[in-house]
Amino acid sequence: MIKTQHLTKRYEALTAVDDLSFEVNPGEVLGFLGPNGAGKTTTMRMLAGFITPSSGTASICGHDVIEDPLGAKAALGYLPEGAPVYGEMTVGGFLDFIADLRGLSGPLRRERLAHVIERLQLKGVLAQTIDTLSKGFRRRVGLAQAIVHDPPVLILDEPTDGLDPNQKHEVRALINDMARDKIIVISTHILEEVEAVCTRAIIIARGRIVADAAPAALVARSRYHNAVSMKLGQATQLAAARAALAAVPGVESVEVSEREARLTALPRAGAPILAAITELAGARGFDLQDLHQESGRLDEVFRSITA
């Protein structure tokens, strides 16, 4: 379990992290969201024991990061932002070094090293120096380093930043794989990622928690939650359709995109309006190309909370 109590980091002129208290339990994948400079990295660095909090504290699996830093670090796998590594080392040499520091030995060591090399597909580059690797491979080496000792807690700072879509998919699959029995905290500003892997999201802005909920619940806060979007075959019907939609009970407002010939009806307080609109579209004989209900837009929620 990760537990923070009034975690605070002040620099001379600015409070980077301001009185953060939260708990994360096994099985949870916590997404740490926020605009750049919101305090995500500072918080993660305090959890990982790289920065000392100005006040408050945090504990990893019962090990206080200030009182028992080595215990906390032993329970933790950490991928720093940008995945720094020793560039002049070979991949194999680097993983050996980390396994040494993690105190792995004997058959367990061989098994763990084989596992991470297999899982992150590093077999082909073991003898290469890390400096010669592509960004995707370097990130994988960073991830291998974080999980080689099979820690109960994983903290990953922007694990998919700068990766191509295939690599992002692989990293997310890896996180989902490990999610069952671990505590995982990832920071990201890619919102789709939160919906793809996280069971819970904390949004922070200016060092404070501004939202803490399941991604679905956050999405439900969107103005677009349960909104109905339709695309018409003929742009000429737009004006009439708009008037008709606005008259449906429960519809708060209607947005029109003329270029796409698309209408979006926003419900009042998330009320279900799909049935009424479907019926209306049939009765009026609209030339429908597409009709669907939106679950909400996380980016819109994110902006409205953090702006």
Partner 1 sequence: MRNVGIIMRRELASYFATPLAYVFILIFLVLASLFTFYVGGFYERGQADMESFFGFQPWLYLFLVPALSMRLWAEERKSGSIELLMTQPVRLWDAVLGKFLAAWLFTTIALALTFPLWVTVNYLGKPDNGAILAAYLGSALLAGGFLAVGSCMSALTRNQVIAFILAVVACFAFLLAGFPMVLDLFRGWAPLPLVDAVASLSFLAHFESIAKGVIDVRDLLYFAMLIGFFLLATTIALELRKAD
Per DSSP, the chain holds a count of helices (H) and strands (E) of: 11, 14
73 binds partner 1 (CB under 8 A): yes
Q: How far is the CB of 76 from partner 1 (least distance, A)?
A: 7
Alpha-helix residue ranges (DSSP H) falling in the chain: 40-48, 69-74, 91-101, 106-119, 135-147, 165-178, 191-197, 215-219, 238-246, 274-284, 298-306
Q: Please, which residue, 97 or 192, has the CB nearer to partner 1?
A: 97
80 binds partner 1 (CB under 8 A): yes
The residue type at 222: S
200 binds partner 1 (CB under 8 A): no
Among 82, 92, 136, 152, binds partner 1 (CB under 8 A): 82
Listed ranges 97-105, 181-189, 195-203, 278-286: which one lies at the site for partner 1 (CB under 8 A): 97-105
93 binds partner 1 (CB under 8 A): yes
Listed ranges 66-74, 182-190, 212-220, 259-267: which one lies at the site for partner 1 (CB under 8 A): 66-74
118 binds partner 1 (CB under 8 A): no
Listed ranges 89-97, 170-178, 198-206, 280-288: which one lies at the site for partner 1 (CB under 8 A): 89-97
For residues 209 and 169, what is the distance between their CA atoms, to the nearest angstrom? Answer: 28
Angle at 52 between CA 50 and CA 56, to 5 degrees: 135
Question: What's the Rg (C-alpha) of the chain?
Answer: 24
278 binds partner 1 (CB under 8 A): no
Beta pairing, strands 208-213 & 200-205: antiparallel
DSSP 90: B
Beta pairing, strands 63-64 & 55-60: antiparallel
84 binds partner 1 (CB under 8 A): yes
Cα dist from 56 to 37, 47, 134, 185, 301, whole Å: 20, 12, 40, 20, 30
Strand order in the sheet with 228-232: 251-257, 262-267, 228-232, 288-293
- Fill in the per-residue mask, 122 to 151: x = in contact with partner 1 (CB under 8 A), - = not in contact: -------x---------------x------
Among 31, 34, 49, 296, binds partner 1 (CB under 8 A): 49
Among 55, 62, 97, 260, binds partner 1 (CB under 8 A): 97
Among 6, 86, 271, 282, binds partner 1 (CB under 8 A): 86
Among 100, 111, 290, 299, binds partner 1 (CB under 8 A): 100
For residues 40 and 206, what is the distance between their CA atoms, to the nearest angstrom? Answer: 10
Q: What does the binding site for partner 1 look like in residue numbers (CB under 8 A)? A: 45, 48-51, 70, 73-74, 76, 78, 80-82, 84-89, 93, 97-98, 100-103, 129, 145
